[in-house]
Chains A and B, each alone.
Chain A
Amino acid sequence: MLSLSHEQKKRIGFTFVMELLKPASPYGRDAVRRIQPFAPGQEAALRIELQNIAKTLSAMPILKNEYTRLEQTFAQVKGIRRSIERIGQDLNEVDLFEIKRFLIQLRDITELFESVDTIADYTGINIEPATPALKLLDPENSAVATFHISSRDFPILAKIRKEKKEVERKLRENPKSDDIDLLHTLRATLASKEQAQEQYAMQWLSEKLIPWRGLLLSNTEAIGRLDLLLQKAKLAATYISCMPEIVVGVICFEEMSNPQLESILSAGGRTFTPLTMEMQTGATVITGANMGGKSVALKTLALNVLLMHCGFYPFASSASCTLFDSIHLISDDLETADRGLSSFGGEIVALQDVLSEVSCGKNALVILDEFARGTNPTEGSAIAKGVCAYMNKQNAFTVMSTHYEGVAALANMHYQVAGLRKLELDTTLLKDMQKASVSARISEIASCMDYGLVRVSADEALPQDALNICRLLSLDERIVDFIEMNMV
């Protein structure tokens, strides 16, 4: 799936959401790094992933302690894939220590997992103990998470160690004896024999572990997957979210939100207005006032579509969405400078890339944020209309925000940001505003603004909020008069 660029993921708030995930194990962190969107054809796998979130959400309140302990155990797990991969080759005692410790942790994790799985009944997550492998590394059944090469199965090693101990005892008891040099030489010989036998024992263990290598690796995968799943469920529980329906030919999100924008707004003492959008193939146009949140709506849509594709609950009260081959976001703040293009040029090049993909029959979501706003209004408007009319006939989903008049009439759906339409601009308010500081005025506008999306008819006139905003920001009366004269 052709995904959004790193920069775009950051801008729509996807990176912010990923940073909210705090997997406890290194395998969970790996799983976060490797998150990939599910593509058309993988609906079944995506459904399983989403259902696993639902199962976690219903099991978590019942098994609070078990889940907490599971996460605590995850936190103790170390990343030892490299040691596991070397099984069958030259494992040293540190590798064997890591593998033994993992096997002990795995035993605890399996127990805990089994207890949650009886209630949660996960699909596709298999954590299995490797008890015989642990027995190999812990023949004395000490259950201690340390490792030494046991001489239990190696009588020669046992004999050498016994002899060496005896020499060491003599050395310790008679440090000034005459044959001290002799004893040291003897000890050195025994120590090198011991080392050779230990080498042999490690090789033997390494070979005995070969049948378990695959299981150990798949367990690391499963731990990572479960760890990530718990994080997804926690995220879903923290925000308003829902189990999305995977459908064909429709995008419908009710009361969507965006945690990143929410956190920015709440830092300024404001709240995010949930957005509802429904659309079909063809073009959907969003119009609305400046500062009204058209870009916010597009980013929030892109975020939730992408999250659902990645196997997350979208932040919405209800959601159904089709699976896309690709999601595109084109806005004139694209970083095109390094390609030597103006922002307008950048938009055009990006659009052409999208068009070639759409014409190949790929199922795409195309989001255009004020396309062609950087060029002159006459041509810009014509370009926006042309693109809208063309995309409306394609088998892709196109959402475009625009300031240009007449674009929405060419789309099959039209949304408007409610904006300032509710606001009565009386003289008292204007006078009050004039006394306030600029930042106070901006937040006043924000408090008057209705950021909600309203579905309107295709030929609904564009809101004329720009002039009201000029007034609220206390633009000189004389200029406002001139502006009004020009609007007639």
Chain B
Amino acid sequence: MLLNLNTRVMLEFLPEIWQGFLATLMLSAAGFAGAMVLGVIACGLSIQPARLLRAPAVVYIDAVRATPLLAQLYFLYFGLPRLGILLPEMLIGVIALSLNSGAYIAEIIRSGILSIQRGQVEASISSGMTYLQRMRLIILPQALRPTISPLIGQAIVLVKDSSLLSLISVVELTRAGQRIAVERFMPVEGLVATALAYLVLYYLLKLLAGLWSRQNRLPGRA
């Protein structure tokens, strides 16, 4: 069946696909940067012993993980204006992706931190280290390594999740592919072109992750 693909039409829509590819790349990069910031803050709060600090992080993480991204997206897009907050759809898209992935990233980093044996914390305490010294010198360098692979996984999920932004009229990769379907009535050509572009993005991410972990030989177990 793939041999019957109308490659002429796929090539004709290459500029649209390229634009969509760039938009998806941009939205995902901004979304992931925001998610990392949110994730680190939420994780930092969620491991605090004081309940008052922990509570907001736990509520955020649970609320996001318990609801579908589509619902969060529609809430931000159609719900916020009712509260008097009107934001452009690109910004809403980035906020939704950041909020959503941030919760998962918080859990990923937290699991890394919790994987450090209690004895090491006790040893650093008895060496007279402050909380920040303990985190910076002992825990985080070891905790980071096992989180790299799940973080890359989360970045890949985020790239694919960004396709939902087409539903709030953001023109990105999925919408560009749907163009072929509605302009030329060739849904398969549109889907294949989109899938190939996502595949390129995926390998790009994998390549970057490989380069990054090779350049920054992080201490700790491999």
State yes or no: do A and B come from one complex. Answer: no
Task: Give A residues with C-beta under 8 Å from B.
Answer: none
